[in-house]
A and B are shown apart, each in its own frame.
Chain A
């Protein structure tokens, strides 16, 4: 296959619309921007649709410190079509459908080649607000200002530029909006259930936080034959949705007056859950999740991003008695091999993705997605570019 750029826009800057964040916690503004052509090892993508993930909100709110950079283009869960590629890019070409992923997967470093883990050491371990290889931006505002990238993806824009390590080619057969989901939250939850925890049939599972990630963990646990899937959430409306994803028991912590949540879970599971997942990002909940598992083999998986950098306090007493704690990014999955695997399962009707999409919006209404998520009224809002 020749790597021809037949695109009329190849090699030139593209003018398009993007939802720009200029101040922390403020509504995004739809603006015209310029997207530069991809450099070596980069791919320019025409975004078809994108969705809002709570991690976008976490960083959107940050007002101080090295992560508070503006103006910025958020968004990291998306699907698109390759518009053009830079030098050395061979694995995708113009016209390919691709899913950008914040978690790199170069497939050449020792970590990528290892069966264990899903680390990729190509970019080191810094958190970047620009393109990973040369730390410069591909976005310019109409006044020529540089704009900051987000998590190597920046998908709240009609066009973006992404490193080849952050791109996964995906089949055209899977509906676009379902492909978009595999770019972050859903893959994270399913991967956590299947790869990091490796839930066996008959297991008991406790999930703290029934957002998209928590519900994806539930779906992953259900598919593995878990016997009990306990969902913990403050929002009782999540219970109905949770049922569709296999949640069998619900706990609203505000209703737990005499006992702690971990004690209630121990009661339901006759001693403690085999696996617990923290899918919110609060150290106190991570501690609860740790304490609700069964001694001897109970495993806690941390998925939530702790926004206050609060430390997680643990007592070695419990570690000695066999409990373990671990965490993961992107569910421990290797994006380039595992996203196609999940897409395949969806096409074979082995994996339910439809239930995650609760709202559809257009780019100009993107701020509605933020409102819905902040009010806990959506799971995934798909934001269409055209």
Chain B
């Protein structure tokens, strides 16, 4: 239900609310009261309705070295209601239902104006502790200590502040637990298949990693008319579920025997996939994915985020000789403000169904259960509901 107040009583003042703070690498989040400053110019303060846990949150929660930093408010997949806006914000107003996005779209820079990129250069994607425009934080704990932002969103909090370039207004009738998925996994996976790879009808697609991203790629590939969608995972429990997302065949990467994973794929596909998607975040798996692609035109798309500094090594002769393409994307190549509405329209037209992603729902106070479930490979998306 949208907040219908047009003039928030809290506008212009700091808000005291609950947040789940990550104070130490790998330790359970702590629910504490914090202060959320009012939005600066070009910023929007949002009351989060619900948020979901993505493995990228876990990657930076576990990491002890930079760009990890503590104490931090994680979370980047969410939906909320605008509580108040800062100066110069005209595109959204208090009461609007919005998705905060970690990918900015200023609409003015060369990259935003190009149809080939979603990497805004005015407020570039960074895994840094601050708000993008002023490099400061809007969060402090009750002792006055600064709490760091995450991916410009920080949705594990009842209230957050985001830049206007990181906000997309959506139809309030969309169920929040499905709307929040468009903040990351659904857009990333469907975008990677339909926009970055531009999967053609009749193609053979192989997806490495059947987490939420991989399953969203499967949905996207199916929308594009792919003929075979082969899912690769170490966890055979994922196979049955993956069928609902369009996956047609499976490879258990632990049961390849003497053969390498790519050899198994090459045999199964009669020479290699037209498209391979790496949705885990391990450089050596990217190498396998590249090797699993068909010579001549095979395209490998990297979606997984590996530890900073991880290198993959390709045989330059293989790159030369095979004419395969290796590329990657953030957020599926999707432009937050220009493309997300189109994706949401496909959802509203029931072309794209996402309810199967939400396998668990917890209350905010039980947010650490979401971490346990995801670390144990026992959920796809666990939605975390804020109290009203």
Bound Cα distance A40, B297 (Å): 31
A111, CB-defined interface residue at 8 Å: yes
B121 touches A321 (CB 8 A): no
Bound Cα distance A330, B202 (Å): 28
Given A114-B297, A118-B323, A271-B121, also A320-B317 (CB < 8 A): no
Which one of B313, B321, B329 lies within 8 Å of A320 (CB-CB)?
Answer: B329
How far, in Å, is B82 (CB) from chain A's closest CB?
29
A306 touches B316 (CB 8 A): yes
Residues of the B chain whose Cβ atoms lie less than 8 Å from the Cβ of A64: none
Bound Cα distance A281, B317 (Å): 9
A116, CB-defined interface residue at 8 Å: yes
Interface digits, B293-314 against A, CB 8 Å rule (1 contact, 0 not)?
Answer: 0011100001111101111111
Bound Cα distance A125, B325 (Å): 18
What number of A-B contacts does a CB cutoff of 8 Å give?
Answer: 136
Which one of B114, B313, B316, B323 lies within 8 Å of A328 (CB-CB)?
Answer: B323
CB contacts under 8 Å to A, within B294-353, are: 295-297, 302-306, 308-317, 319-330, 333
Given A311-B315, A320-B302, also A125-B309 (CB < 8 A): no
CB contacts under 8 Å to B, within A288-338, are: 295-297, 302-306, 309-329, 332
Which one of B118, B121, B320 lies within 8 Å of A304 (CB-CB)?
Answer: B320
B110, CB-defined interface residue at 8 Å: yes
Bound Cα distance A312, B317 (Å): 9
A116 touches B319 (CB 8 A): no
B116, CB-defined interface residue at 8 Å: yes
Of all chain B residues, the one with the shortest Cβ separation from A330 is: B323
A316 touches B304 (CB 8 A): yes
B315 touches A296 (CB 8 A): no
A312 touches B313 (CB 8 A): yes
For the complex, count residues of B whose C-beta is within 8 A of A. Answer: 43
Interface digits, A20-39 against B, CB 8 Å rule (1 contact, 0 not)?
Answer: 00000000000000000000
Given A305-B317, A310-B316, also A322-B333 (CB < 8 A): yes
B326 touches A315 (CB 8 A): no
Residues of the B chain whose Cβ atoms lie less than 8 Å from the Cβ of A303: 320
Of all chain B residues, the one with the shortest Cβ separation from A111 is: B296
B119 touches A321 (CB 8 A): yes
Residues of the B chain whose Cβ atoms lie less than 8 Å from the Cβ of A312: 313-316, 319
B311 touches A315 (CB 8 A): yes
A53, CB-defined interface residue at 8 Å: no
Of all chain A residues, the one with the shortest Cβ separation from B111 is: A296
Bound Cα distance A302, B117 (Å): 22
B125, CB-defined interface residue at 8 Å: yes
CB contacts under 8 Å to B, within A118-133, are: 118-119, 125
How far, in Å, is B15 (CB) from chain A's closest CB?
34
How far, in Å, is A244 (CB) from chain B's closest CB?
27
Given A316-B306, A322-B119, also A117-B296 (CB < 8 A): yes
How far, in Å, is A180 (CB) from chain B's closest CB?
23
Bound Cα distance A303, B320 (Å): 6
Bound Cα distance A157, B119 (Å): 54
A286, CB-defined interface residue at 8 Å: yes
A322 touches B297 (CB 8 A): no
A322 touches B323 (CB 8 A): no
Given A118-B323, A321-B328, A326-B324, also A309-B315 (CB < 8 A): yes
Interface digits, A186-206 against B, CB 8 Å rule (1 contact, 0 not)?
Answer: 000000000010000000000
Given A286-B316, A324-B325, also A316-B310 (CB < 8 A): yes
Of all chain A residues, the one with the shortest Cβ separation from B116 is: A297
Known: A322-B116, A322-B330. 14 other contacts (CB 8 A): A111-B296, A117-B296, A297-B116, A309-B316, A311-B313, A311-B315, A312-B316, A312-B319, A316-B281, A320-B305, A321-B119, A322-B333, A324-B325, A324-B327
